[in-house]
Chains A and B, each alone.
Chain A
Amino acid sequence: MHSFSELVIGDVFVAPFIAYAVTALAIVLALRPILHLCGFDKLFSNPGLAELSLYVAILGLLTVAF
């Protein structure tokens, strides 16, 4: 069974999902210049949705892996 590590800020417990969500957001933001170089916007008819899907995929990977 995969156990989630608690995030504790100043004795306040924060849901692990928040840490995953913020980390995934940071990763997507860091990937943006690379995505632009790859022509990510031109590959999809709805690039916004594709970017959201990428975020969800990274979030899922983080949740499974850590």
Chain B
Amino acid sequence: MTTATIPRPLSFGGAPLSAWAFGIRIWVAVVIALAASFWLELEAPSSAALTVAILAAPTRGQALEKACFRLLGTAIGVTAALAVTAVFSQTRDLILAAFAGWIGLCVFAAGLMDGNRAYAAVLSGYTLALIAIQQLDTPQHVFESSVARGAAIAVGIAAVAFVNDLLAAPDSFPRLASQLAALHRRVRDYAKPVPRDEATDAATAAGLLRDIAALRPEITSLATESASGSIRSAAARSTAVALVAAVHAARVLNAVFAANNPAMGDTSAATLRSPALATASREFLGRIFAVREGLAALNAGHRLHWGWRMPLYRSRAIAAAAGLRAAAHLVLASGFFVLAGWPSAEVSLSLVALVIGLGAVSPNPQGFTVAAFIAAPIAAVLAGTLEFLILDGVTEFPLLALALAPFVIGTMVVATMPHPMVASLGRLNLIFILVILSPSNPQSYDANSFLFVVLFLCTGIGLLLAAQTLIPPESIERRQRWIMASVRRDFEQALSGRDRRLAPEEAMFRDAARIGQIPASGASHRDGALLEEGCDPARSRERGSAGGDLPVTPGGRGGGGARGRGYATPPRHGSHREKCSERRGRAGARDQRSAHARSHGYRRR
């Protein structure tokens, strides 16, 4: 037996060298962005530095894609700000209502997208706050403010792109290829005939499908990376879809094997000669071959002769609920500020909108607000130390650049930590430090305005947290119900043959994305049953009609008639089902029936 040792990456101070290199890149980009903004005498140089902090991504492709969407989101937000100001400039309450409606709409749109597209949606939401709401009392300056912000963002984007190219920021595709290769190994391991109960089997398959679908944003961002980016992105896309198809083929193989040989130990020639098993094995091997082909094309940068899309599943009901909640949270916060009658409250309201927007694209919006609530005082202390203890009246730019180094590099190293909460704290701290410090030429060093900004930041986030506690998100059970209802709807649609937009493999990927969104309620029996239905609804349906004991969702499935429906059976199945029926006759076992029905539909184009 041979063993292979994986070399540990070089590290310094408990963090890998790549994290330090990332921090140094971001610091250089912040310094260049500030230097260029000061030289060009831009009105909002801190926006350029903030753009760098927001675009901070460890790889070049991700940063560039985010930059493109930041420009697009800003353009949409600026247009909305001009329109809202033009229509409601004389009515403060209506402008706040329109703002809340716009934020809700943008959060809803973000809920229907993923990755940087979702970020662009929420950015266009809070850009309205940064422009129209901050100029609430001086609407005649909205256009100048928009131009200043646009210029600062363009400078920030140029700085990030320049530094990433100059300092050779790593490409995404080697890491992505290794992630896909690791998933490929896991799928092959999953296909080994090991005795598993149904719940474990469904959970393992769902875990695999979830991990594959989670790579979608990264795969999309490959396109901007280099001259061969779009070709590598297409290869990675097809590999991911082929992996999803391989998971389904492995399930079929396991089911057929279990049906032929319940003890899972008999590998006699008679068992292995079973025609159903041979077909399932061929199907699985075909899928694995497609995965290998895709991986080779990804690594070599070759074009594949076949290609699939990665359709995204998003629940409209969940997105609409999130949009309504975001609007309600903003109405509560702005209502409080209107009643309080504080001067300069628009700064706080803009920060509330920013945290709502950024939270909407994080997996747990309330958790993000909690992280922001913790990060704000830490950032206040750090920014105060930087402004009044380290810089303390300094006017030379090189000293500002040097003083920024430990703060920017340190927070970015923390942002690369594996723990999501710690990583969020690192990223938020850099953003908040730059917001509070607000580098300008000349720097004001005004303790009064520093305290006001800190107060508004902490008050705004605290208010948002209170609003989110008052109007909490929908329960996990309700979200599960909404997702399972869409499973059943799609199944009915596919059975009726109306949905022919997607190839079978693409439909499988969409299902995988949906399975990835089924939240865990903590009740393992219920979660297992839902995952099983999500992975294999055709079988769940058969079992449901046979009197299976799937837990009934309160107010959801109700009677047995609706139980277990919902497999998004790929389109173009009509003739396949007939052929499957013939095989059913030969094989006999129920597992084989559902296995064949699926395997047939999932043949590669």
Contact = CB atoms under 8 A, between A and B. Distances in A.
Interface string A29-63: 00011011000110000111101100000000000
A18 to B, nearest CB: 8
A32 B233 CA distance: 14
Prevailing SS type, chain B contact patch = helix
A19 to B, nearest CB: 13
A48 B226 CA distance: 7
A36 to B, nearest CB: 5
A8 B169 CA distance: 37
B234 to A, nearest CB: 12
Contacts of B301: 36, 41
B161 interface: yes
A32 B169 CA distance: 20
Prevailing SS type, chain A contact patch = helix
Given A41-B301, A48-B168, A49-B166, A36 B161 contact: no
B89 interface: no
A48 B165 contact: yes
Interface in A5-28: none
Given A36-B231, A36-B301, A41-B301, A51 B226 contact: yes
Nearest to A34: B227
A36 B301 CA distance: 9
B299 to A, nearest CB: 12
A41 B162 contact: no
A52 B226 contact: no
Given A36-B301, A41-B301, A47 B227 contact: yes
B135 interface: no
B40 to A, nearest CB: 11
B168 A36 contact: no
Nearest to B303: A36
Nearest to A52: B165
Contacts of B162: 52
Contact of A36 (B60, B165, B166, B227): B227
B227 A46 contact: no
Counting chain A CB atoms within 10 Å of each CB, which of B164, B168, B228, B230 scores highest?
A: B228
Interface in B150-199: 161-162, 164-166, 168-169
Contact of B168 (A40, A41, A46): A46
A32 B164 CA distance: 19
A40 B162 CA distance: 19
Contacts of B226: 41, 47-48, 51
B228 A36 contact: yes
A44 B168 CA distance: 12
Nearest to A46: B168
A36 B231 CA distance: 9
Contacts of B231: 36
Contacts of A48: 60, 164-165, 168-169, 226
Nearest to A42: B301
B411 to A, nearest CB: 25
Contacts of A52: 161-162, 165-166
A40 B227 contact: yes
Contacts of A46: 165, 168
Nearest to A32: B227
A65 to B, nearest CB: 22
Contact of A51 (B165, B168, B169): B165
Interface in B300-321: 301
Given A47-B227, A52-B166, 6 more contacts: A32-B230, A40-B227, A48-B169, A49-B165, A49-B166, A52-B165
Interface of A: 32-33, 35-36, 40-41, 46-49, 51-52
26 contacts: A32-B227, A33-B230, A35-B227, A36-B227, A36-B231, A36-B301, A40-B227, A41-B226, A41-B227, A41-B301, A46-B168, A47-B226, A47-B227, A48-B60, A48-B164, A48-B165, A48-B168, A48-B169, A48-B226, A49-B165, A49-B166, A49-B168, A51-B227, A52-B161, A52-B162, A52-B165
Q: 7 nearest interchain CB pairs?
A: A35-B227, A48-B165, A52-B165, A36-B227, A36-B228, A49-B165, A40-B227
